[in-house]
Amino acid sequence: MKKLALLVCLLVVTVAAQAQFEKGKWIVNPSITGLELSHDTGTDKTSFGFEAKGGAFLIDNVALLVHAGASWNEGGSDTDLYSVGVGGRYYFDKVGVYLGADVNLDRWDWGHDDSTKFSFGLEAGYAFFLTRTVTIEPAAFWNVNNDRSKFGLKVGFGFYF
């Protein structure tokens, strides 16, 4: 009986999620990156940051997003990163699993020197619906430019309108 109840609950969540990935819907997605789980291969340091994304579904299951973010490394402001970009997400089977990609303009603050670079990012995650319009979205991400890569985990909230 418990297994049947669990199956019914999962089906209800799936049906509720379907309406949120349709053309014309909007998404706002603030997230916290790192939480001591993000690692930069160029600086060999761990970082903490935040990011906010927002956009619209152009067609069913496909969202165009713009985003801005910042991250700070341990030990002060020796390698802070500020980023803006544009990207997209594809939601599989309207159940919340997604893949995303983006292109970013990153501003690296080295404390004594600054540089600006383009980077490319990938992410994979799951939009778990807490209510009909609010999700919690854990994801793994990877960001790479011409001289370093950054990978890690993040968790965010999604608001679907």
Structure tokens at 50: 């935040």
CATH class (in words) of the domain with range 2-160: mainly beta
CA atoms of 119 and 40, how far apart (whole Å): 13
| Per-domain residue ranges of the chain | 2-160
Residue 136 contacts residue 155 (beta carbons within 8 Å): yes
Q: What global pTM score does this model have?
A: 0.76
| pLDDT tens over the chain, length 161 residues | 666 554 444 444 444 444 578 888 999 998 877 544 455 666 566 667 888 999 999 999 999 999 998 887 765 545 678 899 999 999 997 788 999 999 999 887 766 667 888 999 999 999 999 998 999 999 998 888 877 777 888 888 899 98
CA atoms of 29 and 67, how far apart (whole Å): 9
Percent helix / strand / coil, the chain, rounded to 5 = 10, 65, 20
- How far from 151 is each of 40, 48, 121, CA to CA, in Å? 7, 12, 9
Over residues 130-139, the pLDDT tens digits come to: 998 999 999 9
Over residues 17-36, the pLDDT tens digits come to: 445 788 889 999 988 775 44
CA atoms of 149 and 147, how far apart (whole Å): 7
CA atoms of 137 and 158, how far apart (whole Å): 7
Furthest-apart CA atoms within the chain: distance in Å: 64
